A = this chain, B = another copy of it.
Amino acid sequence: MKKLINHPDYVVQEMIEGMALAHPQIIRKLNDTNILVRTDLNNAKVALVSGGGSGHEPAHGGFVGTGMLDAAVAGEVFTSPTPDQILEAIKAVDRGKGVLLIIKNYSGDVMNFEMAMELAEAEGILVEKVVVDDDVAVKNSTYTVGRRGIAGTIFVHKIAGALAEQGASLDEVKQIADRVILQTKSMGMALSSCIIPAVGKPGFELPEDEMEMGMGIHGEPGIERKKVVSADEVASVLVSHLQKEMPLAANDRVAVMVNGLGATPMMELYIVSRKVSQLLQESKIQVHRTFVGEYMTSLEMAGCSVTFLKLDNVLAELLDQPAQTIAW
């Protein structure tokens, strides 16, 4: 394991310190925590808090700032943050208009955020939550935990953040977040796994000629292991999975995200996004905007995910609002 770190036990703390030191205009770190909050907390508005395990940078600290999140709580690598930390974040950014928690759908995240929510409510803070479950690689079943939350979460941050910035109520912000969640589907694939610093070995091993379709962003195994195919085929498979779950018709409008998982060169992301663009063009689907880059990573995993967000005028307008964050 080769990593530019000092000690596996301090990676999260030092990263958060590094982020706060690098961008004092945008964020600051709450003392003795791994919480980043935006510097401009003057505006009385609904506050947005998200977070989760670390290792997905720039998510979520990179999306804290005007027009997006008010705070991001970072847990240990791939480990949900604890309720006390989440509670502190809630208290730090609540300005009396209520707080929306944006949670990715993992048991750990859901439980810890719910516990924090209970604690905050006990202190008289108005709190709501939404749970993002955009990963279509996982079957949707009411009997189990449902789907995972992956890169589509960033669209929720952006759109809910824009509406909150405009002064909407907690209910309205929660509603729009839920609408985005409903219209957002993602799926990923990996060429290689990633290494949790404290573990020191990869989550799974992939032979030199194989790839993993639909793996999770924590190195969880995927739905299928296949021989490596071309970028065009990868794009086609991912798009067809998304289309199956959220059929898009001619003239439908979407935002597209081709998200790098950490080690994939931008060259490759654009080769994938080229095919995605072409497929959408062929189906006469209107692409409102395409985002290509690293938004929700998995440490040094090689691979990508594709996200479609089906837009209406309201969502499109909010998506286009400016935001001052590190990574949007």
Interface residues of A (CB under 8 A from B): 2-7, 11-12, 14-19, 21-23, 25, 54-55, 57-58, 62, 191-192, 208-209, 211, 228, 230-232, 234, 256, 258, 262-275, 277-278, 281, 289-290, 292-294, 297, 299-300, 302-304, 326-327
Closest residue on chain B to residue A232 by CB atoms: B6
Closest residue on chain B to residue A59 by CB atoms: B266
Count of identical protomers in the assembly = 2
Q: Is the CB–CB distance between A5 and B268 below 8 Å?
A: yes
Q: Is the CB–CB distance between A267 and B54 below 8 Å?
A: yes
Q: Is the CB–CB distance between A266 and B4 below 8 Å?
A: no
Closest residue on chain B to residue A266 by CB atoms: B57
Q: Is the CB–CB distance between B4 and A274 below 8 Å?
A: no
Q: A2-B208, A294-B266, A302-B300 are in contact. Are A272 and B18 (CB under 8 A)?
A: yes
A263 CA to B297 CA, complexed, in Å:
11
Most buried by B among A11, A269, A300: A300
Q: A22-B277, A234-B4 are in contact. Are A57 and B300 (CB under 8 A)?
A: no
Q: Which residues of B contact A22 (CB under 8 A)?
A: 256, 258, 270, 273-274, 277, 290, 292
A23 CA to B288 CA, complexed, in Å:
10
For the complex of A and B, the 3 pairs showing the least CB-CB separation, nearest first, are A18-B274, A18-B270, A21-B277
A265 CA to B5 CA, complexed, in Å:
11
Chain B min CB distance to A178 (Å): 28
Report which of B262, B263, B267, B275 forms a contact with A57, defined as CB distance below 8 A. Answer: B267
Report which of B228, B271, B281, B292 forms a contact with A2, defined as CB distance below 8 A. Answer: B228
Closest residue on chain B to residue A22 by CB atoms: B290
A21 CA to B272 CA, complexed, in Å:
11
Q: Is the CB–CB distance between A268 and B4 below 8 Å?
A: yes
A7 CA to B231 CA, complexed, in Å:
9
